[in-house]
Chains A and B, each alone.
Chain A
Amino acid sequence: MSEKRPTTRSSLDRELRAIEDDMLRMGEMVDEAIQGSLRALAERDRGLAQQIVDGDARVNKLRFDIEEACLALMATQQPAAGDLRTVVAAMNVVGDLERMADHAAGNARIVLRMGDEPLLKPLIDIPRMADVCRSMIRDSLQAFVRRDGERARQIAAMDDQIDGLYQQVFRELLSFMVEDPHTTSRALFLLFAAHNLERIGDRATNIAERVLFMTSGVMRELNPEPRESHDLQ
């Protein structure tokens, strides 16, 4: 027996790499959508907002293409162990990326719905939330490609920053609405935008969880506190 003998893995490796490349490309599209929707909000650029809303269909299509590639790989290569976990993780990750793009498009729709109403307040914490989201997405996808479970754990911890910023935005906007109910609609626009980013952070945590599953075989939540509680505040 020689471990140097040629194996039948070459097409499996090639297909796995293609799936990862497409997943990274999808991550870049999501990153651009988040960045663009924030710029559209800050600059009240409705043209850019419309572009992001329209561009969401490309993300959705790429998600289906990647899922089909995963299915074809499973049917034809019968992957096992780490390979199987990689394919299953990739299918989950592209689902999370697709939902993140929906949230970014949601923020672009907010810009369209705001019309010419001025922003209630300057954007400070919301762009910070977006920056942390973008770092989490970029780093978690890199951790996926590098099979770096330890990095995935660190990335999941970054979600606490997003949750903290969201709490801050929530309290601030609530005080505006309490003091002057006429500000309610403008406050709600910003609150929805922050909420979308908070959801993106949770989805990025899901990716980190999938990286940990892929590298260790262990499936568990990295931030086990009830994250959905924000929805009720």
Chain B
Amino acid sequence: MQQAARVSDFTAMMMMDENRAGGMIEFEATEAIFTRPKNPRTEDYVTGRFG
């Protein structure tokens, strides 16, 4: 994840749920995803609360 943060300009957060795989839940500039994500599931993932 740190490598993705370092080298990318944009980041997409994709997750799997019961119905489908690869649903995109948030897409933003990398800087925004890692400092102020809007989706709580993105926040939980980048702060190590799951995954």
A residues sitting closer than 8 Å to B (CB atoms) are 1-3, 5, 7-9, 12, 78-85, 216-217
Contacts and interface: CB of A to CB of B under 8 A. Distances in A.
A8 B51 contact: no
Contact of B35 (A2, A3, A78, A81): A81
Nearest to A88: B35
B32 to A, nearest CB: 8
A217 B16 CA distance: 27
Interface of B: 2, 5, 16, 34-37, 42-44, 46-51
B17 to A, nearest CB: 9
Given A217-B35, A217-B36, A81 B47 contact: yes
Contacts of B51: 1
A83 B47 contact: yes
Contacts, number: 41
Contact of A8 (B44, B46, B48): B48
A81 B37 contact: yes
B47 A1 contact: no
Given A2-B50, A81-B42, 10 more contacts: A1-B16, A3-B49, A3-B50, A5-B50, A79-B47, A80-B35, A81-B34, A81-B46, A84-B34, A84-B35
* Nearest 7 A/B pairs, CB to CB: A217-B36, A80-B46, A3-B50, A80-B34, A81-B43, A81-B46, A83-B47
Contacts of B46: 80-81
Contacts of B16: 1
A76 to B, nearest CB: 13
Name the residue in A7, A9, A80, A216 with the highest tally of chain B Cβ atoms < 10 Å from its Cβ: A80
Nearest to A218: B36
A81 B13 CA distance: 14
A1 B49 CA distance: 12
Contacts of B35: 80-81, 84-85, 217
Contacts of A78: 2
Given A1-B16, A217-B35, A82 B50 contact: no
Nearest to A6: B50
Nearest to B43: A81
A78 B48 CA distance: 10
Contacts of A2: 50
Given A80-B34, A80-B35, A217-B35, A1 B50 contact: yes
A82 B47 contact: yes
A82 B45 CA distance: 11
B45 to A, nearest CB: 9
A5 B51 CA distance: 8
